[in-house]
Structure formats: C-alpha cells, structure tokens
Amino acid sequence: MRTKKFLSVAAFIVCGLVCVNSVNAQTLATATDPVTVNIKLNPIQAIEVNAGQKTVDLVYNSIQNYEQGVTSGVLADHLTVYSAGKFVVSVKTDGNFINGGSSINAVDVTVKATRSAAHSVGELTDVNLSASDQPLITSASKGGNGLKYNIEYDNLAGKNFKYAGDEYYTEASGVLTYTAQVTYTIAPN
C-alpha cells in the first residue's frame, strides 16, 4: 500500500512540475504579437435605370407637337450609378427607330443628363443617339454610391412636321410606333 501511495505522490509531483513548467513557459513568451490586416478594395461598378421608367414614349398628338417636336420631359432619378472609382456612363441605341420597313434616324433623339442630387458627380454631355457608345456622364475625380441622374429624351429634331410625310406615316389611321432599344453602360475612367 505504501508503494501505491508513493507512486501516487510521485505522479502528482511530476504532474505539478510539468504544469508549472508549462505556465512558466507561457509567461516567458513575448507580451505582444502583431497581425497583418489587409483591406482589399475590388473594383465595382453598376448602373440601374429606374424600374418605373423602363419605357419612354415621345408622343406626337397635336399640331404644336408636329411643329415644335417633343421631349419626354425630365425623368427624375432615371439613372443610379454605383462606382468604387472614376467612371464613364455611355449611351447607345441598337439602331434607328423602326416600324416595319420604315425608320426614324437615331440621331433625331438627344439624351440629356442633369444631376438629381448635390452629391452626384461628373461632367455631363448631351448625346445624339447612335449605334456607338458615346459618353454621357464622365467622372474624372471619384466614384460614389447611389449617384442619381435625371434624364430627358429630346426629339425636337422632329419639328416642322418632319414625320408627317408618307415615308413615316403610311397608314390611313391609327398610331404608328417607332421603336429602338437604348442601352446605358458604365466603365472605369
């Protein structure tokens, strides 16, 4: 029985020495240990057209419209831009405005941008539509989150009864609709 007691006490002493050495080893470690933390910024860019303004109608329904041309009026917050850095928003069309075999030249429509909010940035350029991307909004200094822009579609080139001839209005009655797809693109500047 003494041997068992002796072995138990010896095991207890050995365990105590090991535990004390472990504690001493930990207290002998350095008091600081640095970690490197990186913030990695990936480029992001997005553009959204106001969901309630996905179809824009330029309507000729009076003598005054045919004499002076028409505009969409200012479409508030038509575009929203998100960009982590400098950007260019370009606009283009898929071609001329088409109705069957008849067409209206895309350049007859001008796209005009204005800032919707004080924080919106960039230089604004009026663009006559074409099938090539043309810069509408150019930010050479910074990006931003939720930058809002108003847009107006201007068809004043249709003034002086330009679209009243047989080449445009070929039906005896009814409304003719000429259609083109307009696309906005954002890219780094």
Domain ranges of the chain: 45-188
Q: In this predicted model, what pLDDT tens digit does every residue of 61-106 receive, in sequence order? A: 999 999 999 999 999 999 999 999 999 999 999 999 999 888 999 9
Distance of CA 24 to the CA centre of its chain: 59
Architecture of domain 45-188: Sandwich (2.60)
Q: In this predicted model, what pLDDT tens digit does every residue of 133-158 receive, in sequence order? A: 999 999 999 999 999 999 999 999 99
Long-range contacts of 104-109 (CB under 8 A, 24+ apart): 104/158, 104/163, 104/168, 104/178, 106/130, 106/131, 106/180, 107/157, 108/155, 108/157, 108/158, 108/162, 109/58, 109/153, 109/154, 109/155, 109/157
Determine the Cα–Cα distance for residues 166 and 172; give it in Å rounded to an integer: 10
Determine the Cα–Cα distance for residues 82 and 156; give it in Å rounded to an integer: 31
Distance of CA 105 to the CA centre of its chain: 28
- Provide the whole-model pTM: 0.79
